[in-house]
A and B are shown apart, each in its own frame.
Chain A
């Protein structure tokens, strides 16, 4: 298959890109990761592993602390364990408290279950049913993901507060009001708001590429629809569900602004604590906690990758049924109920936020949008203006997408080629998911923004290129997690046939495997774009002065004293512009589907 000497230049170029694309993107991935991830995060973690807090190792200080680990803190002194257990038995088996870390795990578990419960029916709906606007709805599932947490908190208070819209409605129809403000339930619901769409998207992409023939075979052999679902469909969806659950768990384990805004300090998580330590510049303490947090999140990532392996088979995609038909079908009634829940949980807070942007003390007003126009026209260089924020968000998003897609696909291919240690490598390559934004931010600040000494030169990394690279680092694992399960399902016989016909391994991947996983790549690209548009922490750390700010940064900056108006107006602009771009990305990607 090697092009003959003197052959068509383009064919040759295509050949070499196919042959060396993997090596090239792997080198690029490694470079970006080392500079913007491993080095900065490594400096923080090293501080935790080898530093000192009042003479104690920071990690041991965390592990030995009852506040952090509750009953489990005794484990640092194994000799005391039997006595401790005896004391506990004598005390009549009281409820065991596992401290701040234990609570964080518990909270993340609940949030993951809620996100699955809310997200899986959505994946089912989008995969199995056809209805007008289905593609648009699918594109928009990523919208909650880009909303700044402060906006979500505002929307949730307005929707679910004691004096909120929901209670207003319940009172109007004569039902008793619900009080969920400042409870764990509300925090969990807000986490589901963020993560259920992620579950829907990842599982939906897998469902779209499902091997129907096996289900048909099972049905043909006499299995009922439920039996066929449990025995054939579910195992095939397993890796994708696991990927969605893993991401949700990691995100909600590392959640912080939502917890403080909707639950309060009483429901503090590890990340809340980490942030406070960083603010107080107690960096060794922060690093000790960061090491413990990272060990937990990385082991979870490893465990999930360990079990994320699916059955192989070439997908044909489901035949979708029309959604609007007979209502005697119990499934359709269930989906109707689901639609109602989605309207309340997702549309409620978003519409509340939009409404806030249109409301002033005297009722409906466009004043807050007028503020945006005025700031655009007269804002000073040190102030944040809307148009540059929009332009930067769009450009950074596209650039991050361009970088994250090849990076993510490369890592997915590496994961698929099993070799000794590939899982450990895979876990390390997924580490950007498993490291908290605060740890990364701290590392970027210490290692890059303040500069590092290298061969007698002070190297500092800031500015748009750094921001784009940081966004790509944050985003590529999402591409990997949507592509990888699909890649594992590709029928290896097809690849082997290509090899037998003379294609190199790289060639077969490029020409045969990749076109088969395009739905996953598109889903991943939209996710990557969403991550970039929604990213706040690294952006504000790496932005030079007030230049290179993005839409979420503008939202935060427009939060004024006692007025939400300008911030919610900017939030609405962000919502509109990202909604349009998601639809565009999905449509553009759709044309490439085989």
Chain B
């Protein structure tokens, strides 16, 4: 018991010293040990739910670092990670069937997750809005990444969907038109938009590009040109790695991994179709049922701190969501930002995304 307190104190002091910036450490909370009464609401267990690779990927994952750093900053608090197999659906269903939601914060929301939750739950609020007043570093969030008009989800990082191609095998595909050109026959691997995040983002991108009336025709042309739609990103990237096809839909941060693992950069070239990339910001939100709302807010604050933002960029291999982050050069040099970004707003997705995806899937499967 004593040893634990000691470790926590040293850890907190060390991190406060290293960070040397504003945040919970600065006002002295970081060095209290919980005996004083005023910080009760910032003590106890914070249940943070997220998708499983966020805490348990063998390559990189920010979970362990976040837990350690947060617990150092709040020595009376403990983070308990939850990674239910069905992700956010678990909590939507818990709100529907169970005795209320058994978590305080969710990390890793996409706009379409939020649309689905709202669609399922109707009047019931799964998440609570976090106003700018309670979140002191809210103004550092990049405005264009905000995807929740109700202000419940706060973006904490973003990825951009792009193509990854093997420059030793083919020329760079530059436009959507190129992909249906015979030159690119049997070259492209995609993912199932029904079940895969990058797959759905790419579908939405084609809808933005071709319009709601024409995207299915475009996809027919893609399939006719030999594009293959696999189950998930892992499978398609594996096939790409095995040189089965020279182009795969992936993220524009691909070279960060490739560089880290000494891969041949020729095989990890990024192509932005029409000089664009489809933005998929990831958000975090506080559950309306949260047992520890103050601690949850402190966690959201912590996630937006410059130091945390830089670490998440490196460990989750995604761009920071704030203007104040300063990721190391090993990240910025190889993470490519698209010249122009495309995305759908919450309102565009609500009421449409189901129909878009279903129509698309039926056409592909009937093909």
Tell whether, in the assembled complex, residue A260 and residue B244 are in contact, meaning their CB atoms are under 8 Å apart.
no
Q: Is B52 an interface residue (CB 8 A)?
A: yes
Max chain A CB contacts within 10 Å: which of B58, B64, B232, B361?
B58
**Which chain B residues (78-136) contact chain A, with CB distance < 8 Å?**
80-83, 85-86, 89, 92-94, 97-99, 116, 120
Question: Is A326 part of the binding interface, using a Cβ–Cβ cutoff of 8 Å?
Answer: no
Of A271-279, A328-336, A390-398, A491-499, the segment with at least 4 beta carbons within 8 Å of chain B is A271-279
- Which candidate, A45-53, A379-387, A511-519, is the interface stretch facing chain B? A379-387
Complex interface residues of chain B between 296 and 318 (CB less than 8 A to chain A): 317
Does B266 sit at the interface, judged by CB under 8 A?
no
Q: Which residue of chain B has its CB nearest to the CB of A162? A: B244
Beta-carbon contacts of A558-584 to B below 8 Å, as 1s and 0s?
111111111100000000000000000
A150: chain B residues at CB < 8 Å are: 234-235
Residues of chain B within 8 A of A17, CB atoms compared? none
Q: Is B55 an interface residue (CB 8 A)?
A: yes
Using a CB–CB cutoff of 8 Å, the interface residues on chain A facing chain B are 67, 99-100, 150, 153-154, 157-158, 161-164, 181-182, 257, 260-261, 264-266, 268, 272-273, 275-276, 279-282, 361-362, 371, 375, 380, 382-384, 445-446, 450-451, 458, 540-541, 545-546, 557-567
Known: A276-B194, A281-B116. A382 touches B367 (CB 8 A): no
Shortest beta-carbon distance from B285 to chain A in Å: 18
Q: Does B354 contact A (CB under 8 A)?
A: yes
Selected contact of A265 from candidates B81, B229, B254, CB within 8 Å: B229
Residues in chain B near residue A266, CB distance under 8 A? 223, 228-229, 364-365, 367
Q: A265-B361, A279-B195, A562-B237 are in contact. Are A446 and B229 (CB under 8 A)?
A: no
Q: Are A561 and B55 in contact (CB under 8 A)?
A: no
Closest chain B residue to A557, Cβ basis:
B56
Contact indicator A276/B195 (Cβ below 8 Å): yes
The reply to whether A445 and B86 form a contact with Cβ atoms under 8 Å apart is yes
Give every chain B residue within 8 A of A564 (Cβ-Cβ). 238, 241
Pick out which of these stretches binds chain A: B37-45, B145-153, B257-265, B326-334.
B257-265
Instruction: Say which residue of A67, A100, A261, A282 sits within 8 Å of B235 (CB atoms).
Output: A261
Q: Is the CB of A273 within 8 A of B58?
A: no
Q: Kindly state whether residue B60 has any CB partner on chain A within 8 Å.
A: yes
- Residue from B89, B94, B192, B231 whose CB has the most chain A CB atoms within 10 Å: B231
Instruction: Assess the A280–B116 pair: CB atoms within 8 A.
Output: yes
Q: Contacts A161-B239, A265-B230, A564-B241 given; 5 further ones with Cβ under 8 A?
A: A100-B365, A264-B228, A450-B93, A560-B57, A562-B261
Verify B365–A268 contact, CB threshold 8 A. yes
Expressed in whole angstroms, the minimum distance between the Cβ of B86 and any Cβ of chain A is 7
15 contacts between A and B (CB under 8 A): A157-B242, A161-B244, A162-B244, A260-B192, A261-B230, A261-B231, A266-B365, A280-B354, A281-B89, A362-B262, A380-B64, A446-B97, A558-B58, A561-B60, A564-B241
Interface residue B211 (Cβ < 8 Å from any Cβ of A): no
Question: In the complex, what distance in Å separates the CA atom of A274 from the CA atom of B238?
Answer: 25
Residues of B within 8 A of A67 (CB): 362, 365-366
Query: What's the minimum C-beta distance from A388 to chain B, rounded to whole angstroms?
Result: 14
Cα separation A540 to B56 with both chains bound (whole Å): 15
Residues of B within 8 A of A276 (CB): 192, 194-195, 361
The CA-CA distance from A275 to B56 in the complex, in Å, is 24
> What string of 1s and 0s marks CB contacts (under 8 Å) between B138-170 and chain A?
000000000000000000000000000000000
How many pairs of A and B residues are in contact by the CB < 8 Å rule? 144
Whether A264 and B85, one on each chain, are in contact in the complex, defined by CB atoms closer than 8 angstroms, is no
Give CA–CA (A150, B60) in the complex, Å: 20
Closest 5 A/B residue pairs (Cβ) = A260-B231, A276-B194, A560-B59, A268-B365, A566-B58
Distance (whole angstroms) from the CB of A56 to the closest CB of chain B: 15
Q: Find the residue from B82, B86, B116 having the highest chain A CB count within 10 A.
A: B86
B20 on the A face (CB < 8 A)? no
B63 to chain A: which residues have CB within 8 Å?
A: 382
* Closest beta carbon of chain B to A150's beta carbon, Å: 7
**Contact B98 A451, beta carbon cutoff 8 Å:** yes
C-alpha gap A564/B228 in the complex (Å): 21
Q: If A261-B230, A266-B364, A266-B367 touch, does A181 touch B59 (CB 8 Å cutoff)?
A: no
Given A260-B192, A280-B194, A361 and B238 contact (CB-CB distance below 8 Å):
no
B182 within 8 A of A: no
Q: Which residues of B contact A282 (CB under 8 A)?
A: 354
A98 to chain B, nearest CB (A): 11
Distance in angstroms from B221 CB to nearest chain A CB is 14
Nearest to A360 among chain B residues (CB) is B261
Give chain A residues whose Cβ lies under 8 Å from the Cβ of B263. 361
Cβ of A136 to closest chain B Cβ, rounded Å: 32
Inter-chain contact A257/B231, CB cutoff 8 Å: yes
Select from chain B the residue with minimum beta-carbon distance to A257: B231
Are A382 and B58 touching (Cβ within 8 A)? Answer: no
**Shortest beta-carbon distance, B247 to chain A, in Å?**
14
> In the complex where A67-B362, A153-B235, A562-B257 touch, is A265 in contact with B56 (Cβ < 8 A)?
no
Q: CA separation between A564 and B55, bound complex, in Å? A: 17
**Please, how many angstroms separate the alpha-carbon atoms of A99 and B367 in the complex?**
10
Query: Which B-chain residue is minimally distant from A256 (CB atoms)?
Result: B231
Assuming A450-B93, A563-B59, is B362 touching A264 (CB within 8 A)? no
Q: Measured between C-beta atoms, what is the minimum distance from B117 to chain A in Å?
A: 9
A559 and B234 in contact, given A260-B192, A268-B365 (Cβ under 8 angstroms): yes
Which of B64, B239, B241 gathers most chain A CB within 10 Å? B239
